[in-house]
Every structure is written in structure tokens, then in C-alpha cells.
Amino acid sequence: MQILETDFLIIGGGLAGLTAALKLSARGRVLVAVKKEPTESNTSYAQGGIAAVMDPGDSFAHHIQDTLIAGAGLCQRDVVEAIVTAGPPCIRELEKLGLAFERREGRWDEYDLGQEGGHSHRRVLHAGDFTGQEIIRVLLERCREQRRITLRPHLMAVDLATAGEGKARRCLGAWFLDGATGELLGVRATVTVLATGGAGKVYLYTSNPDVATGDGVAMAWRAGLPVLNMEFVQFHPTCLFHQDAKSFLISEAVRGEGAVLKTRDGAPFMERYDPRASLAPRDIVARAIDREMKTRGDDFVLLDITHHSAKFLRKRFPNIYARCLEFGINMARDPIPVVPAEHYFCGGVEADVAGRTALPGLYACGEVACTGLHGANRLASNSLLEALVCACNAAAAILQRPPEKPGVAPPFPDWRASGEAASEEAVVIAHNWESVRKAMWDYVGIVRTTSRLERALARVKMVQHEVAHYFRSYRVTSDLLELRNITDVAALVIRSALHRKESRGLHYTLDYPLPDDAHPPRDTRLQL
């Protein structure tokens, strides 16, 4: 097997991965392993923007408090404070790289800040309604200018490579499947950064792109790292309901500009669920929509922003406006049909605000990590903030490490799994792929019960057994690897949900409908 050598290995090419790569290139060679094309990441699909205190009328105290309220008692306050207060200087670094956030019309000294659910002030910086896409464009341009950074597309991570036992155990890099050749290869690095993003494809309906199969969480768990709070899965309340839209996201910023959620007969309903109405946090809004749909037997609800002019909507939401028009919906005249879809994982690999994990040599940043910022529910637009700040912190921590002495590191381990035979039963992989995702949607969704969770776990365990057999017996393919990862992540979500005997934030179960404020489980911690 070919073994590549680099100083720093970044797995993932979103905001966290590319930010870390740029900073680490000051010290040595950086290899950024991207699963598909460099532009394909969860960051690219982020419409709303980055939450940060950039307005004189706002304050860190307000942003911190909004985050703590949304997190339903499980945020780590010191983590929230550290990330919120680090936001503005990190934003300015992005701007120095060439990212231009929207300014108020005629006022180039003031940001055009958006407001989203759960925020008490306007604090969401944005670049139109395709902020993530613009972030990736700028970061890729800067990375391609650095001779020390190598971007390798079509490298799918298989597993982390580790050596040693006990406290001497460390990460040496990772194994990959090269999509161009179909061959396995290893990448050895002094430091590895997991920045693989989320796991939306674990569910049948998601706002995430196809690359979001939970690869980083699954690999870390298989390597024995602690995984926290996987039961807290955020369902975005408003994805476009259309058979050809593939869960196109209608940004929360639309509600921030006054859009009102209504039933199909035009009646507003959010006031019955929360005094903040359509600007309530996502967990509350998603459950309210789910209940209205089930009670009324409707397939969708309506998001009405027709009180704004077409001119305003085209300027504020150019991407959403154009996309809706493709499906015959004029936002200025027609309420938008929407449904909830899986959007974001608040849980992940246990890591601190500098990305440090329990495995020396391995860091984790962005959605793959669980830092304690989000608690039981993520405040809108805090995700890009966390990815940016923690990537900056991780790079700073890595650069403070003393250089590794030549010849001291243990040898790269041998590949010890997977068969050589070509599978002739690809239909089995496709069937299991759909089976896992449908079971998660049907039984481990917005509203749960113990019996549903147990039913889902039984099905997922059967698939895990089949996948393990396939992995031992047949040649590795990208389809098999993704099935392996979504199945492992699905099992972690279900086991975590069964462990939490209360309803809190994004985890709502009919068997325990109230929060256990007397003895709340701090973290749901799982480890191999």
C-alpha cells in the first residue's frame, strides 16, 4: 500500500478544514483530503450566515444568554463564552482573506445583520443568502495560492491509523480510498484534524449534501474515542416541499425578516406554541410543525413572507427567490410550502475549544466535534461561528506543539481489514442504505418513543452485522464505506436517545415528555 507523508493531515474541506489548513501551512506541508469535489461540503450549503456580535447595540452577554437558553441547560458556559467572544476577531480575519459580508444600503460602515430564531438581536453576518458558498470560494482561492497546501479531491477516509497502547497511544494519520484509482492508501502525519462535517444522510430527508455520511464521528468511535450527545439531532423546520427540490433549505433568515408560519388554510399557528411565534428556536418550531401536520393530516405547512416586495426579496434572498421561481413559487405572492428535514448534529466527537480530543495527535473541529457550545439545541448560525473559532484555536494549539524529532514516531501500522473479492451484490448495499435511513426517519425523528427506538436499534444492528461481514470479505468501495459509517452513526444516535430518560431540547420522547431538572443527564457519553 502506498503511504504518503505530510506534516498536517486535514480530513474535510469545509470552513473548519480550510481555515486550519491556511494557518498550519505557516509551519509545514498540509494535505487536505476532500471526499468529493473541493466545493462540496456542508459549509457550501449554509445560507443564513455567521452569528457574531458586530453591532454596538448588541453585546457578548446577550449572545451568550441566547445560546444558553437555546441549549436547554446543557451548554458549557465557559465554552459558550470563549467561542462567542472570539467571534469578532475571527470574522475580521475572514474579511482580510477577501470575504465581503453584506453592508447596509448606502452605509458601507455598517453590516446588514440578519436575525434568526432564538436571537434577541440582529447579529447574523451574511453574503446574500449563499454565505457558505462564498466562504468556500474565498478559502479555496487562498489555499490554492499556498504552495505548502495540497488539495486532494476524491479521497474518502476509511479509518484512523493509530499506534501504541494506553497513554502512549496516538494518531498517526488515516487510511483512504482513492476514488480515482479504487486503491487504498495511507497518509502519515504528525497531526490529523477531523473536519468532516455532519451526518445528515443518516436520515431519509435532510438539507445536507450527499457527502454528509458521518464519516468522522464513525471513524473516531471505531478508534475508541468518546462520542457525546448524539441524541440531539436538529431538524430544520423549513425545507422546501416539492418533489423535485431535494429538500432545498429555506433559510431561517426568512423568518428573521418577518415570514409567518401558517397552516394550509392560511391560519398562523406558532403563537399557540411559543410567545416568540415564528422566531422561536428550531426545536420548538420543528415540533410545532410536526404536530400540526400530523393533527391535520397535511403534508406541509406554509411560510408566508408576501408582505415584502419582490424587490426586497430578490435583494435579500437572491438564491432562495430564484430557486422558488424554478418551482413556480413567487415568494412575493405565494406562501412557500415547507416541511422539517434533518439539518445538524449537536453531538459528536468529544473535543475542547481548541479541537483537542482524547487521542494525542488528533484534533476535531466543526460539526464533527462536540465542544459543549450547543448543548441540547443549536442556536441558529452558531455552527459556522464554532467551526471558524475552533479551527483557529486548533491551529494555534498545534503550532505551539514542539516539532517532532526524526525517527521518534512509531511505524505506520499495516492495513488489517477488508477482503479482496469484488462484490457481486451491490443491491444489498443499496437496500441496507435505504433501510437504515428510513428506520431513522420513521422511528428516531422529531418525536420519539422507547418502543420506536428499540425497533430502530434492532434493524440497525442487523445491518451492522451484514456490513461487518461485507467489510471483511469484499473489496472496499465508497458505497460500502458510507453504509458502514451511517449505520454506526445511526446506532450511536439510537443508543444515546435510549439513555436519556427525559425530553430536552432536540430530544423529545412521548414516554418522558418533561425535562428531568432534578437529575438531568449532563452528557450522553458513548465509547467503544
pLDDT digits (tens, 9 = 90+) for 182-230: 999 999 999 999 999 999 999 988 999 999 999 999 999 999 999 999 9
DSSP 368: G
Q: Residue 429 above 70 pLDDT? A: yes
End-to-end CA, the chain: 28
Identify which has the larger pLDDT, 122 or 410. 122
Residues 6+ apart with CB under 8 A from 336: 238, 240, 250, 254, 302, 303, 304, 305, 324, 329
In the beta sheet, which residues pair with residue 348? 228
Q: How many Cβ atoms from other residues are within 10 Å of residue 526's Cβ?
A: 18
Nearest CA to 341 out of 409, 414, 435, 240 is that of 240
pLDDT of residue 417: 65
Residues 6+ apart with CB under 8 A from 77: 64, 68
pLDDT of residue 424: 66
- Pair 222, 396: CB distance under 8 Å: no
DSSP 390: H
Q: What percent of the chain has pLDDT over 90?
A: 80
Main-chain dihedrals φ then ψ at residue 145, nearest 5 degrees: -85, -15
Q: ∠ at Cα 354 (157, 174), nearest 5°?
A: 20
- Pair 387, 395: CB distance under 8 Å: no
Q: Residues 466-484: what's their mean pLDDT?
A: 90
Of 175-179, 281-285, 378-382, minimum mean pLDDT range: 281-285
Identity at 484, one-letter amino acid code = R
Report residue 345 as a C-alpha cell: 448534529
Give SS3 for 372: coil
Q: ∠ at Cα 68 (66, 73), nearest 5°?
A: 145
Nearest CA to 241 out of 250, 232, 253 is that of 250
Write the pLDDT tens digit of every residue in 151-161: 999 999 999 99
Q: Which of 282, 356, 459, 484 is catalytic?
A: 282
Cα-based distances in Å from 223 to 46, 219, 273, 502: 30, 6, 43, 30
pLDDT of residue 328: 95
- C-alpha of 501 from chain center: 25
Measured between alpha carbons, how far is 162 from 362 in angstroms, rounded to an integer? 10
Of 253-262, 285-294, 415-424, minimum mean pLDDT range: 415-424
Measured between alpha carbons, how far is 448 from 508 in angstroms, rounded to an integer? 6
Main-chain dihedrals φ then ψ at residue 268, nearest 5 degrees: -60, 145
| pLDDT tier at 425, thresholds 50, 70, 90 | low
pLDDT of residue 265: 94
Beta strands 155-163 and 170-178 are: antiparallel
Measured between alpha carbons, how far is 127 from 135 in angstroms, rounded to an integer? 9
Nearest CA to 253 out of 84, 49, 443, 110 is that of 49
Nearest CA to 217 out of 431, 523, 491 is that of 491
Q: How many Cβ atoms from other residues are within 10 Å of residue 81's Cβ?
A: 18
Give the residue carrying C-alpha cell 416539492: 242
pLDDT of residue 518: 82
Report residue 527 as a C-alpha cell: 465509547
Q: Residue 8 above 70 pLDDT? A: yes
Tell me the domains of the chain and their CATH numbers.
Answer: 1-232+346-417 (3.50.50.60), 241-340 (3.90.700.10), 426-526 (1.20.58.100)
Measured between alpha carbons, how far is 405 from 256 in angstroms, rounded to an integer? 53
Q: Residues 416-436: what's their mean pLDDT?
A: 78
- Pair 212, 42: CB distance under 8 Å: yes
In what side-by-side order are the strands of the sheet with 336-345? Answer: 233-240, 336-345, 301-304, 260-262
Residues 6+ apart with CB under 8 A from 183: 1, 2, 177
Q: Residue 407 above 70 pLDDT? A: no
| pLDDT tier at 418, thresholds 50, 70, 90 | low
In the beta sheet, which residues pair with residue 8? 30, 191
In the beta sheet, which residues pair with residue 111? 103
Of 35-44, 108-117, 261-270, minimum mean pLDDT range: 108-117
DSSP 80-99: HHHHHHHHHHHHHHHHHHT-
- Pair 162, 170: CB distance under 8 Å: yes
Length of the chain in residues, anyone? 528
Q: Residue 3 above 70 pLDDT? A: yes
Report residue 160 as a C-alpha cell: 484512523
Identify which has the larger pLDDT, 252 or 406. 252
Dihedral sign (CA 65, 69, 70, 74): positive
Report the chain's mean pLDDT, rounded to a whole number.
93
Q: Residue 279 above 70 pLDDT? A: yes
Measured between alpha carbons, how far is 270 from 111 in angstroms, rounded to an integer? 30
Give the residue carrying C-alpha cell 484512523: 160
- Pair 506, 118: CB distance under 8 Å: no
pLDDT of residue 411: 87
Main-chain dihedrals φ then ψ at residue 323, nearest 5 degrees: -65, -45
pLDDT of residue 428: 82
Measured between alpha carbons, how far is 413 from 490 in angstroms, rounded to an integer? 28
DSSP 314-345: HHH-HHHHHHHHHTT--TTTSPEEEEEEEEEE
What pTM did the predictor assign? Answer: 0.92
pLDDT of residue 28: 95
pLDDT of residue 522: 75
Is 282 marked active-site? yes
Burial class (CB in 10 A: 0-12, 13-18, 19+), 412: middle
Q: What percent of the chain has pLDDT over 70?
A: 97
163, containing H or E segment: strand 155-163
Q: Residues 333-337: what's their mean pLDDT?
A: 97
Q: Residue 406 above 70 pLDDT? A: no
Write the pLDDT tens digit of every residue in 125-152: 999 878 999 999 999 999 999 999 999 9
User: Residue 170: left (phi > 0), alpha (psi -120 to 50), or beta?
Assistant: beta
Write the pLDDT tens digit of every residue in 342-371: 999 999 999 999 999 999 999 999 999 999
Measured between alpha carbons, how far is 499 from 389 in angstroms, rounded to an integer? 31
pLDDT of residue 348: 97
Write the pLDDT tens digit of every residue in 386-403: 999 999 999 999 999 887
In the beta sheet, which residues pair with residue 344? 234
